[in-house]
Structure 1
Amino acid sequence: MIAGVVLAAGEGRRFCGDKRQALLPDGRTLLEAGLDAFIGQLGELALVLPDDDVFGMELCRRLGARPLACRLNRAGIGHSLACAAAWAMSLPQCRGMVLGLADMPRVQPHTVSQVAAALWHGRPVLACHQGRAGHPRGLPAACFPALLDLTGDVGARDALDWSQALRLELDDPGVLLDIDTVADLQRLD
């Protein structure tokens, strides 16, 4: 089984507020759009959230994702990754996880399923578009222990040898589009 995890516990400092609740032109919130591509594509799905996140918990309930509260979320992405890895390791027969970011609203469902399928080879997977690596990323179960001790702003790039990853070229420009600022959101059509 391949699991999915979307990281949504960051503070979004450059956005000046909770960007996860920002509305997209189609009426969905940024968080809902970031999670939509994962719905129905994987064996299990979790969303890493800040502690006591009412908005995120309600979205999980509505969309059928498992909420993972990360009480140290303000200390950096490393804690969210460690939380995701611990959850994935607890799943029986989990062979890997597709790791997404909540601020990437244009990733397509077929991208998530292709990254998941590529994970069965046992190597990390980089979703790429026109040669540029983006997200989501595939992490085989053998990588989970390296993520457990992450803290602060140390991401998976610092814990894994991405030069050994399978570069999966996809026809999905959404793997490169993330929303960090209000201006990024305003450029969406």
Structure 2
Amino acid sequence: MGSLRLVGVLLAAGRGRRFDASGSCNKLMQPLPAGGTVLAASARHLLAALPEVVAVLRPGDDAAAAELAALGCLVTECADADMGMGCSLVHGLRQSGYADGWVVALGDMPYVQPATIAALAQALEEGADIAAPASEGKRGNPVAFSRRHLPQLLALHGDEGARSIVKQHEVVEVAVNDPGIFRDIDSPADLQ
């Protein structure tokens, strides 16, 4: 790893209502065919590429918190998680405000490869302010941000994620051969 202090922010505070309309079944704790949970796979891939990962959960998600802590993540609960992804992202950034940059990943994207995350970190090391993985002419997730964008990121609120910031600025597209950048878990069928 280079000279920048880069932190992964794993957003895992959503209710997953597309997976389970009642919100009672936590999709992130569902098992994957290869073993482990959706959340554990997402966290492991971040941890394989970055020295620090801050995982943002909603309050009371004790099983997820225990699993992430055991993996080595800094676990933090966002009291405003139900207000939307923007609130969760701001919360995670505030817990890691000392960093020079962040790779913002989604807890329901367990198939993103560690090499992709490492490539995004490398893009920040090489001077990118925003980096996103791309394959076949399309951008995917996660997205990396340098400290330059911290004020704009901290101004996010509600369900507004960082997409508006990405649209307003130059993005270094990192070419990857990783279908995981497009694959999230939105329904039980996605677990296969």
TM-score calculated relative to the size of structure 1? 0.91
Specify which of 164, 171, 182 is matched with residue 176 of structure 1. 182
Contact 2:131 2:173 in 1 (8 A): yes
Instruction: Identify unmatched segments of 5+ residues in structure 1.
Output: none
Q: Which amino acid aligns with 1:55?
A: A
Q: Which amino acid aligns with 1:28?
A: G
What is the DSSP-based 3-state SS (H/G/I as helix, E as strand, rest coil) of the residue aligned with 2:8?
strand
Give matches, 1:1-189, under 5 Å.
Answer: 1-16=5-20, 17-89=25-97, 91=98, 94-120=99-125, 121-161=127-167, 163-185=169-191, 188=192
Instruction: State the Cα distance separating 1:52 from its structure 2 match.
Output: 2.3
Deviations 1:128-184 (A, max 9, x none): 121211111101111111121222110101234455010111011111111111122
Deviations 1:56-78 (A, max 9, x none): 21112210000021111111101
Deviation beyond 3 Å, 4+ runs, structure 1: 159-163
Q: Which amino acid aligns with 2:13?
A: A
Instruction: State the Cα distance separating 1:12 from its structure 2 match.
Output: 0.2
What is the DSSP-based 3-state SS (H/G/I as helix, E as strand, rest coil) of the residue aligned with 2:181?
helix
Q: Which amino acid aligns with 2:187?
A: T
Deviates further, 72-81 or 155-164 = 155-164
What is the DSSP-based 3-state SS (H/G/I as helix, E as strand, rest coil) of the residue aligned with 2:18?
helix
Q: In the comparison of the two structures, how many residue pairs are matched?
A: 183
Work out the percentage of aligned pairs sharing the same amino acid. 34
Q: Which amino acid aligns with 1:109?
A: P
Contact 2:131 2:172 in 1 (8 A): yes
Contact 2:28 2:38 in 1 (8 A): yes
Q: Distance in 1 between matches of 2:182 and 2:12?
A: 17
Contact 2:40 2:68 in 1 (8 A): no
TM-score calculated relative to the size of structure 2? 0.90
